[in-house]
A and B are shown apart, each in its own frame.
Chain A
Amino acid sequence: MTASAVFILDMKGKVIISRNYRGDVPMNCVERFSGHVLEAEANDERPVWLEHGTTYIYIKYNNLYIMAVTQRNSNAAMILLFLYRLVEVFKDYFKELEEESIRDNFVITYELMDEMMDFGYPQVSEPKILREYITQEAHKLEVVKPPMAVTNAVSWRSEGIKHRKNEIFLDVVERLNLLVAANGTLLRSEILGSLKMRSYLSGMPELKLGLNDKLLFEATGRRTGGRGLSKGKAVEMEDIKFHQCVRLARFENDRTISFIPPDGEFELMSYRLNTQVKPLIWIEAVVEPHSHSRIEYMIKAKSQFKQRSTANNVEIVVPVPADADTPSFKTSIGTVKYAPERDAIVWSIKQFHGGKEYLMRAHFGLPSVSNEEEKKDKPPITVKFEIPYFTVSGIQVRYLKIIEKSGYQALPWVRYITQNGDYQLRMG
């Protein structure tokens, strides 16, 4: 169930650094990897494959491949997750992970690889904890010991953390994924929410987070949308994922979110809702192609959220044929640009208030000769936006209780924002 060796390679497939954990796979197998990845057709980039009894598992990051090999029936999900974690830890240590940063830090890279995986089994992978004992200043005279946290039940936080001001910031970020068919039918809409925390709390604080969670309200007999909350309704989250600090058994039991947070920034939880939401920004596109002469677009953008909210930095990207030329635009709001490198028109609107509707017309020339045979790629229209002080699901933080034995008072700060996720409207 383990990885035999881990390699970090450059885009040409050359090994920058590697660690052989088990010695049961010949290290020159990496040549096969380079061959495979460099020759692979675009449609065969499977991240896991088998060749001559050796399985290769890899991810790409920046200009690097991070790859593990094994000849056993290893746990592929675990190895992939570990590779991603390796990237995170390196990023934490080196700010950015790239070929140069590894070379500049190869000693500590080796140390980290040695500490994070033993005999192919992932071990400690919390950057904050690793920093306490894997450091380049370790050669100073003081004796470095493994932090208690390494093996403790609370493996993500060390004791004795001190902050002058005890504060905690909570960002509720929702991303709206949308898939609309060419005929305007809403195929899928999905909300991916995330509660991001920045915790600057001293000691070992016990936190309890209260949300307007529908199942919790039902379990505690609170009427949803009734007296319990002065306004707003309860939200039913379809799936919730928690940071390892949250006590899962307790949540399963009574849906209480209780935890001792790591220090600094982390994602406390993420959730997913599959309810049909009204697309926050709706786009209708009328395309009139006149082959061999010109193509015309009429794009209508409509905001379908409350008037008191505003979407910022809205960007509507409409794909156009690669061979279009001489663009001209007309719009009642924002700016329109032709982005030939993306084969698209980008319509930017700084502030898009709720309940509004705007029009944009575009006109392109088309070459008189074109390859009829060639099949045209049909990318969808995509939309970017940010709506502050608003969550599309209606989720609310009801309370965040902080209890520490020293009894300090800490202030929680909460912000809400909704953004576009994978927001795609197919074109006819």
Chain B
Amino acid sequence: MDFVEKSIQKVNQLGAGGGGGTDSKYFQTTKKGEIHELREELANPKMEKKKEAVKKVIAAMTVGKDVSMLFTDVVNCIQTVNIELKKLVYLYLINYAKSQPDLAILAVNTFVKDTQDVNPLIRALAVRTMGCIRVDKIVEYLCEPLRKCLKDEDPYVRKTSAVCVAKLYDINGELVEDQGFLDMVYDLLGDSNPMVVSNAVAALAEISETSELGQKVFQINTSTLQKMLAALNECTEWGQVFILDSLALYCPSDGREAESIIERVTPRLQHANSAVVLSAVKVMIKYMDLITSQDTLKALYKKMAPPLVTLLSSEPEIQYVALRNINLIVQKRPTILAHEIKVFFSKYNDPIYVKMEKLEIMIKLASERNVDQVLMELKEYATEVDVEFVRRSVRAIGRCAIKLERAAERCINVLLELIQTKVNYVVQEAVIVIKDIFRKFPNRYESIIGTLCENLDTLDEPEAKGSMIWIIGEYAERIDNADELLESFLESFDDETASVQLQMLTATVKLFLKRPAETQKMVQDVLTLATQDSDNPDLRDRGYIYWRLLSTDPEAAKQVVLAEKPNINDDSFTLDPSVLDELITHLSTLASIYHKPPSTFITGRTRMVPTLGGGAHDDEYEESDANITSDMMDGGMGGAQAAPPAMPAPSAGGLADLLGLDDEIAAPAAGGGGMGGAASLAPPGMADLFGGPPAPAPAAPSAKVVLPPDRGEGMQVRSAFVAQNGRVFQQITIENHSPAPLSGFAIQYNKNSFGLVPESPGALGQVMPPQLAPGQSHTGLMPLTATGQPQDSKGHVQMAIKNNVKVFYFQDQCDVLAFLSADGRVERGAFLEQWKSIAQEAALDVQGIGPANENVDSLCPKLEASNVFFIARRKLDGGADMLYFSVKTLNGVVMLAEIGLRPGQGMGRVVVKAQQTPYVSLLAESLKAKLLS
């Protein structure tokens, strides 16, 4: 009530301004007893009075007041010829029907009547509103009127009805399927009116996104394709977006088809509406994968670059969307914008979020040709006021150096100039990136260490301090007063953060190994500080190890601590190719802005498998963006970093692994200043202290690495799909190559061709130990079910594994043979009948079949073992051997196969037919592989 009154007061004060409306008066009559008064006014037989009253009700609703108690009174006004009053009542209904489902039924009669009105506006209004009243009981009454309106003579009614089918599907999908509405909408694709066509496209696209039937709802074939392309030229700009977005989901059969569709889509690049342009770009980039001719590609690049650049002249919000998309486009097709780097230079008045995105793209486009210009710009940015932007700009200089070896020196010079500005955060960022450059190009630019050392006092952030200390330790032999410098840092040892302390410890040990004479006392002090005074287990452990190493075998210590470090690359900002491809098909959508596949942030009802850890992903996005700089550190620094942040205390078993007793993990796990490579060097006496190496479970030979450790931040994943006892399992081997224990494993599948999902959300956790110590590996057999909804037919299974570090995305290919059920034998008569009724679906010629596989007697048992069942055999006159098989997938798709062999020639042919076609080509491929195995 207060709220209402306040806003009314405000309106009163301001009076009636604006565009001449006087509606504000309806906000004014709110006082005690209002509801009662309104009720009386609503019952007034005079239409004008009634309308005034309804307006007051809507006004109250607008300011957030609950007027649902007037439901009956308002609905009683519905039978009117006055369209304005009708609209108001409908508006009220949309808002309150859900809270008064029983009363909403009262309105049904009027709705049904209105769908037969002479005025198409009213017919459409009724259909539109009915669909918005999400009350189950109403839905049943909707069907008949909707059926009529889908065939209405007026296109305005038809275009509204098409969307209504999508609404209805959202409320009750089964009903829509049973009533045959899907076919009716599908028919509308051939409508003579372009807006009807585009709305039908939108409705079908939406339904196929949510439906159990998946893409079957909206299969684009040659004839629908032509209809859509024809409508593309004539429909509204929004309709063009609907059509283009659907085209982006279609997979052309070959390069020629792709090219011809692109040709029809290209004119859209000239549309004034940026959404049309971006959707057209999406279709083109996706289809380009099928085009092999370099000339064609070059011509397309030339056409796409100017419209992309023009997007940067639009409103900043659109620019932001465009830049996030261009970031992906530049990764997928770097050539398109290779010569346009200047358009990504920041303008003074760009919003900061635009500047940040431009910066990212600048680095991606930086090349030896343009690096001087880029550096000039970055230097300019480093003098701006926004601290975060300045920091990123300085880091960008370092990333340029790491990316472009020949420009590294110029980058260093710019950084040195920036250090001279003495601006605190500029100097700190510069030190951090210089450390990365030293890592990347050792023994090249050490002459600048002197300048760095002049700025020690400026450093007050842990990351910068740690970097400087690392540099001092690494180049201790070049810095005359390295001991003094370190000493000065050590004074505040207790006050430093854990990461800085670890760096101090390692740096001091390095210094000692290089100049033992003067620094003996110092190293002893540090080791004491680390092992006795500290309560940080990481620090203590590392201290003990150093101590023992040093006391047992200083030579071994040297080899361990001063070992060569693995190379670093600036690839931390590039996406995995499979993820990139997926994101490209989602250009212009939210996925392309978050740079995450939709399944990771959509928690829809039927569409997606449950997400990992509930809302964790949202936070993850926020976090990953906010901490983008520290992400870079992880990737850029690799082994140079003292210890990953928040490393949990290792158990006794973990200690063994810290030393890298397992040969296999030694090299990549060079954390802690080169601890790796110690395996063979560890003195025998230490074995009993640390215990023996853990025995990793051997991975199956066929399991391939789907996530290499450099992408998994130390976690390596092997995967294989295996069939056992009529069930599918994913055999997952996780190896920990990182210096820290991994834990909290969880897995999630994206929608895939087989509808495969882990049997339970925690399936991976059940077959994996709660924690994997560094160097440890474990293999688990995770049961899968085929209860998800299948998508596309490529056989990919995209998945994400989450651990205590973050979420990693990768994919594996599942052989359809692993997905067959044991009851796939079809009775011969039925086989014959089906075989005849289906036209040829997928056929493959095979050459180079080995003699064993040409022999039917040895081939059949082999196939039967994979649940490919032998049905019949036929010998042809020419000596050819025709074999017939049947299979049934775990989700119930029956397929028939014919294998024709010409014994002695090593040649054959595989033909696969099925009523439901998603797997025919996969099965053909698999059978071919079997023949060649």
Contact = CB atoms under 8 A, between A and B. Distances in A.
Interface of A: 1-2, 15-17, 20-24, 42-48, 50-53, 55, 58-59, 70-78, 80-82, 84, 93-96, 98, 100-108, 110-111, 114, 118-119, 121-125, 133, 136, 138-139, 143-146, 150-153, 155, 179, 181-182, 187-188, 190, 192, 238-244, 246-249, 251-252, 267, 269-270, 272, 274, 375-380, 422, 424, 426
Interface string B125-138: 00010011010000
Contact of A252 (B267, B306, B313, B621): B267
A146 B156 contact: yes
A123 B164 CA distance: 13
A78 B603 CA distance: 22
Contacts of A376: 385
23 contacts: A21-B132, A22-B170, A51-B618, A53-B603, A77-B278, A77-B321, A78-B275, A78-B588, A81-B275, A81-B318, A98-B17, A100-B16, A103-B18, A104-B16, A114-B128, A121-B238, A123-B199, A139-B84, A241-B272, A248-B271, A252-B266, A375-B385, A375-B423
Interface in B613-659: 615, 618, 621-622
A267 B121 CA distance: 30
B317 interface: yes
Listed from nearest, the 8 A-B pairs whose CB atoms lie closest are: A101-B18, A94-B19, A105-B21, A239-B306, A104-B21, A248-B267, A47-B317, A73-B598
Given A43-B388, A47-B320, A138-B83, A179 B347 contact: yes
Best-buried of A48, A119, A136, A269 by chain B (most CB within 10 Å): A119
A75 B245 contact: yes
A424 B345 CA distance: 12
B155 interface: yes
A53 B62 contact: no
Given A45-B352, A114-B128, A267-B272, 5 more contacts: A72-B590, A77-B322, A139-B51, A274-B309, A426-B348
B233 A248 contact: yes
Interface stretch (B85-93, B721-729, B741-749, B874-882): B85-93
Contacts of B242: 1, 121
A58 B309 CA distance: 23
B602 to A, nearest CB: 6
A1 B589 contact: yes
Nearest to B59: A106
Interface string B309-330: 1100101111011100000000
A48 B320 contact: yes
Contacts of A20: 94-95
Contacts of B385: 375-378
Best-buried of B236, B279, B342 by chain A (most CB within 10 Å): B236
B30 interface: no
A73 B591 contact: yes
Contact of A42 (B18, B205, B352, B618): B352
Contact of A76 (B18, B23, B128, B589): B589
Given A42-B352, A138-B83, A150-B195, A76 B593 contact: yes
Contacts of A252: 266-267, 270
A422 B380 contact: no
Given A101-B19, A121-B238, A424 B384 contact: no
B351 interface: yes
B14 interface: yes
B381 to A, nearest CB: 11
Contacts of B590: 48, 50, 55, 70, 72-74, 76
A82 B196 CA distance: 20
A17 B21 CA distance: 15
Contact of B62 (A106, A150, A151, A241): A106
B166 interface: yes
B121 A95 contact: no
Interface string B334-378: 000000001101011101110010000000000000000100110
Nearest to B319: A47
Given A76-B588, A118-B160, A244-B272, A104 B23 contact: yes
B389 interface: yes
Nearest to A269: B272
A351 to B, nearest CB: 28
Given A76-B321, A272-B309, A422 B272 contact: no
A241 B271 contact: yes
Contact of A46 (B16, B62, B118, B320): B320
A118 B307 CA distance: 29
B84 A138 contact: yes
Contact of B604 (A71, A104, A249, A251): A71
A94 to B, nearest CB: 3
A105 B23 contact: yes
Contacts of B79: none
A102 B64 CA distance: 15
Interface string B437-473: 0000000000000000000000000000000000000
Given A75-B279, A248-B267, A424-B348, A106 B618 contact: no
B195 A71 contact: no
A377 B390 CA distance: 12
A23 B270 contact: no
A123 B83 contact: no
A50 B321 contact: no
B594 interface: yes
Interface string B678-717: 0000000000000000000000000000000000000000
A297 B589 CA distance: 49
Contacts of A181: 376, 380
A75 B275 contact: yes
B315 A2 contact: no
A201 to B, nearest CB: 21
B286 interface: no
Contact of B23 (A16, A22, A107, A150): A107
Contacts of B389: 43
Contact of A23 (B16, B21, B119, B134): B134
B18 A107 contact: no
Given A118-B163, A139-B85, A77 B275 contact: yes
B118 to A, nearest CB: 8
Contacts of A108: 21
B618 A119 contact: no
B272 A270 contact: yes
B565 interface: no
A139 B202 CA distance: 33
Interface in B1-55: 11, 14, 16-24, 26-27, 51, 55
B120 interface: yes
A75 B195 CA distance: 19
A121 B351 contact: no
Contacts of A81: 273-275, 318
A53 B279 contact: no
A47 B266 CA distance: 28
Contacts of B820: none
Nearest to A93: B19
A101 B245 contact: no
Contacts of B202: 1, 121
A71 B607 CA distance: 12
A101 B15 CA distance: 10
B163 A53 contact: no
Contacts of A16: 62
A182 B381 CA distance: 12
B90 to A, nearest CB: 8
Contacts of B22: 104
A125 B235 CA distance: 13
A2 B615 contact: no
A363 to B, nearest CB: 25
Interface in B563-588: 586, 588
B128 A242 contact: no
A110 B23 CA distance: 12
B604 A151 contact: no
A391 to B, nearest CB: 17
B24 A53 contact: no
